[in-house]
């Protein structure tokens, strides 16, 4: 569900009573979108909770009720982009694992409205944003791998892929398809669409999956 940080409805805020889960998640999505915009333009050090709150249309108190600090907000915004893209695609509508994985790869890399912002943040902050926990890039990758494990488990359950180690499958897919696809986009302007760029990588991955799984993958 895509939520714009620039067109925020105030109808939910005007309703009385305790907000339901959908209202809470909708507001969280708006906050995450605003946070990505501010972090991408100002950097982590330059970003202000006040500015993020203003862009999201909430109070600073509301932000601090959800996030203890800027680090927690940035990590949640990064993870939110990943969750949004992987939950956006319905595996029940896929004719094959290759079709499903191509759609997911395209969604994660460029189709998401937040993808360019997320890429800029990871590049700018990924190596330095460590503090007492894992670097931002590692935290985002770990969360992505967890979600991709669920995707591969579901594809295997639907007999669209042979049984395999889902954790290792997620790592292979990330390295062979997502990482190489993003690097290609950053280093040259390909002819055609993003699907044209990713399709051969996804096809190669799927063609070798059965043999890799049989060898104990």
Q: pLDDT tens digits, residue range 65-83?
A: 989 888 888 888 878 877 7
Q: What is the pLDDT of residues 112-127, one digit of tens each?
A: 666 666 666 766 665 5
Mean pLDDT of the chain: 77
14: which residues sit within 8 A by CB, 6+ positions away? none
Find where tokens 């986009």 sit: 185
Least confident of 44-53, 54-63, 148-157, 182-191: 182-191
**pLDDT at 12 (0 to 100):** 40
Q: How far is CA 71 from the centre of its chain?
A: 17
pTM (2 d.p.)? 0.64
pLDDT, average across residues 19-40: 82
Q: Is the pLDDT of residue 166 over 80?
A: yes
Q: What is the pLDDT of residues 81-113, one digit of tens each?
A: 777 766 666 788 889 999 999 988 887 776 666
pLDDT, average across residues 189-197: 69
Tell me the CA distances in angstroms from 19 to 7, 11, 26, 183, one per residue in order.
20, 12, 11, 42
């Amino acid at each position: 569900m895509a939520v714009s940080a620039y067109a925020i409805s105030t109808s939910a805020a005007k309703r009385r009573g305790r907000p339901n889960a959908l209202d809470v998640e909708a507001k969280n999505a708006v906050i995450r979108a605003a946070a990505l915009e501010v972090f991408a333009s100002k950097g982590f050090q330059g970003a202000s909770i006040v500015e993020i709150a203003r862009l999201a249309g909430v109070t600073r108190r509301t932000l601090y009720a959800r996030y203890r600090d800027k680090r927690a907000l940035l990590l949640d915004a990064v993870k939110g982009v990943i969750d949004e893209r992987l939950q956006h695609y319905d595996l029940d509508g896929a004719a094959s694992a290759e079709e499903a994985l191509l759609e997911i790869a395209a969604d994660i890399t460029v189709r998401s409205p937040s993808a360019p912002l997320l890429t800029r943040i990871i590049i700018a902050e990924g190596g330095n944003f460590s503090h007492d926990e894992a670097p931002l890039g590692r935290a985002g990758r770990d969360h992505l791998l967890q979600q991709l494990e669920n995707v591969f488990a579901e594809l295997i359950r639907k007999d669209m892929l042979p049984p395999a180690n889902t954790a290792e499958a997620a790592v292979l897919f990330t390295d062979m398809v997502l990482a190489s696809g993003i690097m290609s986009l950053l280093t040259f302007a390909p002819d055609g669409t993003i699907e044209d760029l990713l399709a051969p990588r996804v096809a190669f991955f799927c063609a070798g999956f059965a043999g890799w799984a049989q060898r104990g993958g």
